[in-house]
C-alpha cells in the first residue's frame, strides 16, 4: 500500500518511536546554538559599525520584522532561516533517513513543481492582496515619495527577494514538514496532524486576534496542500508569494505587513479567497501533471541470519575446510570386438611354438628333430 506524506516517517522499515521526538529536541539545541553564533556576529558588526546601542534596540524589538531598519529586518530573517538547517541536520542524525522524504514523497525537493506552483502562487496573491490594497487606496490614497522608491525601498525589496524565500521554506520545513510527520507517525488520519500543526504555527506569530486568525487560515491551507500534493513545494511557494507581496507593499509604504492593530474581520477576505483559489488551482494542476502524491511501499530488509548457538567448540581455532570440486568421471572407451577387427597391420603369422631366438620367420623343417 502506498504511503501519504504525513505517514512517511512511520511506514518505513527503519522506524523507531524515539527518532522524531529526539530530532525535535536536537533541532531546538541546534537552533539555539546557531542563534548564539548569530548574536555574536551581530554584536561584532554593531560594535564596529553603528554602536552597541543599535544592538540593544534590535534585541528589544527582535522578531518584529521592521523594514524601517533593514539591518534589524535582516537579522530577524536570519534568526528564522537557521531553523531549516537545524531541522534537516537533526533528522539526518537521528533518522529516519533519507532526509529527502521530509521534502516530498519523491525523496527530494521537486524543483519543477516548486517553480510551477510559485508562478501560480504569485499570480493568486498579487491579484488578491494587490486588489485589496488597490481598493483601500481608492478610498484612502497614500502618498509615496519617489526618493524613497529610488533608494531605501529598492534596497529593502532586494533584501526581501533574497531572504524571504529561505524564511518561508524554513517555516514550512518545521511546521508542515517535521510536525506533520511527527504527529502523522502517531495517527493514520490526515486531519489530526493538520489540526495539531495549525495552532503551533499560529503560536509562532506575535499578532493580535484577527492577525492570528489570518495566520491560522493560511496555515490550514498550507497543511492541506502539503498532504494533497505529497510535498512541501506548493506550501513553500504560497508562503513565499504571500510574504514577498506583503513585504514589498510594506517597503513601498502602502501599509505595515506586521502591524495588525487595526485589523478586523474584513481583513480576512484576501487570505480566505487566495487560500481557496490556490488550493483549487494546485489540485487541478496536480491532476493535469499526474503528480506523484504518495510513496510506493518499501520492502522490508531481509532478516539477519541467526548465529549458531551454542557455537561449535572448534569453530574458533580450526582452519576452514575447503572442499575441492568433485571430479567428473568419464568411462574409458570399450575395445573393439575381435570378430569385427583383424590383427594390426604390423602383426605377422607367429609360430605355435616360437624358438629361443625368434627371428620373425622359421624354416619349414624346424621341427624335424621330433620324428
172 vs 335, higher pLDDT:
172
Residue with cell 536570519: 78
Rounded to the nearest 5 percent, the helix, strand and coil shares of the chain are 60, 0, 40
What's the pLDDT score for residue 315?
A: 47
Which residues, in sequence order, are CB contacts of 231 under 8 Å at separation 6+?
Answer: 5, 103, 104, 105, 106, 109, 110, 113
What's the pLDDT score for residue 313?
A: 54
**320 — pLDDT class (breaks 50, 70, 90):** low
Which residues, in sequence order, are CB contacts of 296 under 8 Å at separation 6+?
Answer: 2, 3
Q: Which of 146, 155, 148 minimizes the C-alpha distance to 70? A: 155
Q: Residue 70 has which C-alpha cell? A: 533593514
Using a pLDDT cut of 90, give the percent of the chain over it.
Answer: 56
Q: Where are the domains of the chain?
A: 7-289
What's the pLDDT score for residue 307?
A: 63
Compute the distance between CA of residue 241 and CA of residue 226 in angstroms, rounded to an integer.
16
What is the per-residue pLDDT across 132-163, written as a single tens digit (0 to 9) for each? 888 877 776 666 555 456 588 899 999 999 99
Q: What are the φ/ψ torsions at residue 370 (nearest 5 degrees)?
A: -80, -15
CA 264-267-273 angle, to 5 degrees, is 145
What is the per-residue pLDDT across 195-221, written as a single tens digit (0 to 9) for each? 999 999 999 888 889 999 999 999 999
What's the pLDDT score for residue 343?
A: 55
What's the pLDDT score for residue 351?
A: 52
Q: Residue 126 has which C-alpha cell? A: 498579487
Q: Which of 221, 232, 218 minimizes the C-alpha distance to 279? A: 221
> In the chain, what is the greatest distance between 2 CA atoms, to the nearest angstrom?
163
**365 — pLDDT class (breaks 50, 70, 90):** low
Ordered DSSP codes for 219-254? HHHHHHHHHHHTBSHHHHHHHHHHHHHHHHHHHTTS
In this prediction, residues 277-284 reach a mean pLDDT of 97
Q: Which of 323, 16, 288, 272 minimizes the C-alpha distance to 132? A: 272
In this prediction, residues 110-135 reach a mean pLDDT of 95
What's the pLDDT score for residue 301?
A: 67
What is the per-residue pLDDT across 221-275, written as a single tens digit (0 to 9) for each? 999 999 999 999 999 999 999 999 999 999 988 888 888 777 888 889 999 999 9
Compute the distance between CA of residue 250 and CA of residue 159 in angstroms, rounded to an integer.
13
What's the pLDDT score for residue 228?
A: 96
Amino acid at each position: 500500500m502506498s504511503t501519504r506524506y504525513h505517514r512517511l516517517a512511520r511506514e518505513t522499515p527503519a522506524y523507531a518511536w524515539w527518532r522524531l521526538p529526539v530530532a525535535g529536541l536536537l533541532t531546538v539545541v541546534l537552533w539555539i546554538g546557531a542563534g548564539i553564533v548569530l548574536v555574536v556576529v551581530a554584536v561584532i558588526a554593531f560594535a564596529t559599525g553603528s554602536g552597541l546601542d543599535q544592538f540593544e534596540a534590535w534585541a528589544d524589538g527582535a522578531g518584529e520584522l521592521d523594514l524601517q531598519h533593514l539591518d534589524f529586518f535582516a537579522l530577524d530573517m536570519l534568526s528564522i532561516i537557521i531553523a531549516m538547517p537545524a531541522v534537516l541536520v537533526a533528522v539526518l542524525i537521528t533518522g529516519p533517513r533519507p532526509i529527502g522524504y521530509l521534502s516530498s514523497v519523491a525523496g527530494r525537493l521537486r524543483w519543477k513543481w516548486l517553480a510551477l506552483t510559485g508562478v501560480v502562487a504569485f499570480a493568486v496573491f498579487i491579484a488578491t492582496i494587490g486588489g485589496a490594497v488597490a481598493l483601500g487606496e481608492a478610498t484612502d490614497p497614500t502618498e509615496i515619495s519617489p526618493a524613497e522608491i529610488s533608494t531605501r525601498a529598492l534596497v529593502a525589496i532586494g533584501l526581501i527577494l533574497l531572504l524571504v524565500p529561505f524564511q518561508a521554506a524554513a517555516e514550512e520545513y518545521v511546521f508542515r514538514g517535521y510536525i506533520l510527520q511527527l504527529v502523522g507517525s502517531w495517527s493514520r488520519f490526515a486531519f489530526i496532524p493538520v489540526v495539531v500543526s495549525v495552532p503551533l504555527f499560529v503560536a509562532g506569530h506575535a499578532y493580535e486576534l484577527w492577525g492570528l486568525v489570518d495566520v491560522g487560515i493560511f496555515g490550514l491551507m498550507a497543511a492541506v496542500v502539503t498532504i494533497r500534493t505529497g510535498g512541501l513545494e506548493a506550501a513553500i511557494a504560497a508562503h513565499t508569494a504571500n510574504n514577498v507581496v506583503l513585504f514589498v507593499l510594506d517597503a513601498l509604504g502602502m501599509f505595515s505587513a506586521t502591524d495588525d492593530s487595526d485589523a478586523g474581520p474584513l481583513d480576512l477576505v484576501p487570505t480566505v479567497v487566495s487560500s481557496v483559489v490556490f488550493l483549487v488551482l494546485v489540485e487541478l494542476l496536480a491532476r493535469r501533471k499526474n503528480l506523484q502524491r504518495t510513496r510506493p511501499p518499501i520492502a522490508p530488509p531481509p532478516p539477519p541470519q541467526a548465529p549458531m548457538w551454542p557455537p561449535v567448540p572448534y569453530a574458533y581455532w580450526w582452519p576452514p575446510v575447503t572442499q575441492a570440486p568433485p571430479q567428473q568421471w568419464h568411462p574409458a572407451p570399450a575395445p573393439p570386438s575381435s570378430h569385427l577387427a583383424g590383427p594390426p597391420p604390423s602383426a605377422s603369422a607367429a609360430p605355435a611354438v616360437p624358438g629361443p631366438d625368434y627371428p620373425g620367420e622359421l624354416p619349414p623343417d624346424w621341427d624335424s628333430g621330433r620324428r
